Amino acid sequence: MTVADGTSTGIGLRHLLSTEALRRDQAEALLDTAAGMEQALTGRAVRKLPTLRGRTVVTLFYENSTRTRVSFEVAGKWMSADTINVSASASSVSKGESLRDTAATLGAAGADCLIVRHPASGAPHRIAAWLDRVGHSHLGAEGHVAVVNAGDGTHEHPTQALLDAATLRARLGRVEGAHVAIVGDVLHSRVARSNAHLLATLGARVTLVSPPTLLPVGVESWPVAVSHDLDATLGGDAAGGAPDAVMMLRVQAERMHGGFFPSAREYAIRFGLSQARADRLADHAVVLHPGPAVRGMEIASSVADSSRAAITEQVTAGVHVRMAVLYHLLAGEDVA
Amino acid sequence: MPSRQRGAPGSGGASAEGERELLSAADLARTVARVAHEIIERTAPDGGEQAPPVVLLGLPTRGTYLARRLAERITEITGAVVPTGTLDPTLYRDDLRLRPTRALAETELPAAGIDEAVVVLVDDVLMSGRTVRAALDALRDHGRPRAVQLAVLVDRGHRELPIRADYVGKNVPTNRSEDVAVRLVEVDGEDGVSLR
């Protein structure tokens, strides 16, 4: 169940809380719109669209972020929305205000959209459910505050998965049928979870490559294959074929309390994308990293800087994807 | 599905009965040829170095193909090559909030840009004028043309804004509840315009 259902808007999106709940037609519409946004902004004298004039987008971040918060803000501003950034450390949250009260306050203050990042999995879902229950006078009887999950704990980060899919589309020309290896700290990665579901929905084949200690419980129910040997996966697996894309995940030391692997050095040797490993990839294969990358740990510096890596393209795609998300959540008619 | 400019929302679902042909395939070709002649007369695209360049920008979907056809006719007649492009005004519409979100269409401007050019916007059906208004706003963000003109295949009336076409293929008095359906080979497999 999610509150992301509802069929009356163009693609039937009220909130964007997870990729698991996203239908294929919705995901493809978002990617098509993102491509359209890129095209609409290319080679222009003025990089500003009037589409969301008079709409207010609030980013509510309980965790640090550079690229996600900035790209949401840029996406909103390029479509003429008013964007306001709230960070937990500089708000009433530091005085002890609850998540529910903070969300209600921002809704009552006139937000049309809340972009939420929170260390607790499920926090954006709760906010969406709370805000759906109360009316918002500035939005009329039918109006609702749209909630976008910008990363919740170890659960999901749907816009990251969408921008990864957009990057793969641009680089490979397709997502369907592609083989994508997601390598590293899957346990703590909302990026891995969102990508596994979205890529499967879009028809790609996903292999998770990770030490057993860094795989989440219940991974066998995900639409993916699992490997513990990076070299074997890069060489091609039983289902046929080496990966068309390798997505390296950051080892999230801040979420680790205990020994998940013997040493950073051993991890880098067994699961890092070294130059030697990158050289074995197919010519067309793409290297993705959601950032921030820890060079020398999960990815060698020379690989991160090579033309194979699409790391900066991912950031650019992130702006277009977030424009597409805001467009579909905010531009059309508001329905209950 | 043919392009329709519809009166009241939800008035669709018109059946084939009560359909009246406004332009046959041959009529449509003649109309495009006539409008091409009018554009040449007004803008002199073969005017040489000192004349401002002429750019035909179609509004998706069918305006894009009409713009290409007009450019081909103009080249046949004058030998001058007229750059064409396509401009999607969706993100500039003033009625976004009134409907479910729409998919975006293609935007592709000629590489030389539109600054100092005479831009002719091309659309299939002119009704309220709101699409053209959105296109004028979009154009402003892409550059500063010397002049903007408007060419439409069918003007069906019911204007809601002070907008007028410079070139009209056919004026058709219509009822708001009727649909004007433009069909083009490139999109619909055949040429023709009908009213239903």
Mean pLDDT to the nearest integer, B5-27: 66
Residue B91 has its nearest CB partner, among A9, A51, A332, at A51
Mean pLDDT to the nearest integer, A267-286: 94
B133-159 pLDDT, tens per residue?
999 999 999 989 999 999 999 999 999
With a threshold of 0.90, tell me whether the complex ipTM lies above it: no
End-to-end CA distance of chain A: 17
CATH assignment, B20-44+53-195: 3.40.50.2020
**Residue where the block lists tokens 């057993």:** A212
A101-127 pLDDT, tens per residue?
999 999 989 899 999 999 999 999 999
Name which residue leads in pLDDT, A13 or A135: A13
pLDDT at A241: 84
Burial A293-303 (b: 16+ CB within 10 A, else e): bbeebbbbeeb
**Is the dihedral angle over the CA atoms A267, A188, A208, A314 positive or is it negative?**
negative
Instruction: Give yes or no for B103 touching A (CB within 8 A).
Output: yes
What is this structure's pTM? Answer: 0.88
Burial B8-42 (b: 16+ CB within 10 A, else e): eeeeeebeeeeeeebbeeebbeebbeebbeebbee
Q: Is A117 annotated as a binding residue?
A: yes
Which segment of B8-12, B36-40, B155-159 scores lowest on mean pLDDT?
B8-12
State residue A208 phi and psi, 5-degree precision: -90, 130
Mean pLDDT to the nearest integer, B52-61: 94
Contact A103, A45 (CB under 8 A): no
Instruction: Give yes or no for B49 touching A (CB within 8 A).
Output: no
Name which residue leads in pLDDT, A229 or B100: A229
Q: Which residues in chain B are closer than 8 Å to A336, comparing Cβ atoms? A: none
pLDDT at A2: 33
A72 has a pLDDT exceeding 50 = yes
A240: left (phi over 0), alpha (psi -120 to 50) or beta: left
Mutation target to probe the A interface, by most A beta carbons within 10 A, among B59, B91, B116 is B91
CB contacts < 8 A, A to B, total 69
pLDDT at A240: 66
pLDDT at A334: 64
- Bridge partners (DSSP) of residue A206 are A180
**Residue where the block lists tokens 């589409």:** A51
Instruction: Give yes or no for B107 touching A (CB within 8 A).
Output: yes
Residue A46 has its nearest CB partner, among B91, B102, B141, at B141
Q: Is A275 annotated as a binding residue?
A: no
Mean pLDDT to the nearest integer, B113-138: 95
pLDDT at A7: 34
State residue B5 phi and psi, 5-degree precision: -110, 110
**Residue where the block lists tokens 């890529």:** A199
Instruction: Give yes or no for B109 touching A (CB within 8 A).
Output: yes
Interface of A with B (CB under 8 A): 8-11, 29, 32-33, 36-37, 39-40, 43-46, 48-51, 79, 327-328, 331-334
B78 has a pLDDT exceeding 50 = yes
Mean pLDDT to the nearest integer, A64-68: 89
Name which residue leads in pLDDT, B87 or B19: B87
Band the pLDDT of A139: cuts 50, 70, 90.
confident
Q: Does A33 contact B106 at a Cβ distance shorter than 8 Å?
A: no
Please classify residue A336 by burial: count the beta carbons closer than 10 Å to its beta carbon, then call 0-12 exposed, 13-18 middle and 19+ buried. exposed
Residue B106 has its nearest CB partner, among A39, A48, A332, at A39
H runs (alpha helix) in chain B: 25-43, 62-78, 130-142, 185-188
B117 has a pLDDT exceeding 60 = yes
- Closest residue on chain A to B94 (Cα): A51
CA dist A281 and A247 (Å) reads 13
Band the pLDDT of B171: cuts 50, 70, 90.
very high
A231-242 pLDDT, tens per residue?
999 988 766 689
Band the pLDDT of A270: cuts 50, 70, 90.
very high
CA distances from A286 to A195, A246, A319 (A): 15, 6, 20
**Cα within 13 Å of Cα(A225), Cβ side:** 18
pLDDT at A141: 64
Residue B92 has its nearest CB partner, among A11, A36, A50, at A50
Residue A36 has its nearest CB partner, among B96, B100, B104, at B104
pLDDT at B5: 59
Going from the N-terminus, what domains does chain A have, and what CATH number goes with each?
Answer: 24-156+316-334 (3.40.50.1370), 159-315 (3.40.50.1370)
Rg of chain B over CA atoms, in angstroms? 16
Q: Is A96 annotated as a binding residue?
A: no
**Is the dihedral angle over the CA atoms A64, A68, A74, A75 positive or is it negative?**
negative
pLDDT at B157: 93
Q: Which residues in chain A are closer than 8 Å to B96, comparing Cβ atoms? A: 51, 331-332
Residue A333 has its nearest CB partner, among B98, B109, B137, at B98
pLDDT at B9: 43
A211-231 pLDDT, tens per residue?
999 999 999 999 999 999 999
Please report which helix (H) or strand (E) contains residue B146, including its range.
none
Band the pLDDT of A244: cuts 50, 70, 90.
very high
Please classify residue A254 by burial: count the beta carbons closer than 10 Å to its beta carbon, then call 0-12 exposed, 13-18 middle and 19+ buried. exposed
Q: Is A77 annotated as a binding residue?
A: no
- Closest residue on chain B to A36 (Cα): B104
Mean pLDDT to the nearest integer, A310-326: 95
Instruction: Give yes or no for B116 touching A (CB within 8 A).
Output: no
Contact A164, A289 (CB under 8 A): no
The percent of residues above 70 in pLDDT, for chain A, comes to: 93
Q: Is A39 annotated as a binding residue?
A: no
Q: What is the mean pLDDT of chain A?
A: 89
CA distances from A229 to A20, A178, A182, A290, B191 (A): 27, 20, 12, 21, 59
Q: Does B91 contact A40 at a Cβ distance shorter than 8 Å?
A: yes
A1 has a pLDDT exceeding 50 = no
User: Residue B102 has which token pair?
Assistant: 């729409």
Q: Is A322 annotated as a binding residue?
A: no
A181 has a pLDDT exceeding 70 = yes
Do strands B84-86 and B54-58 pair parallel, antiparallel, or not at all (unpaired)? parallel
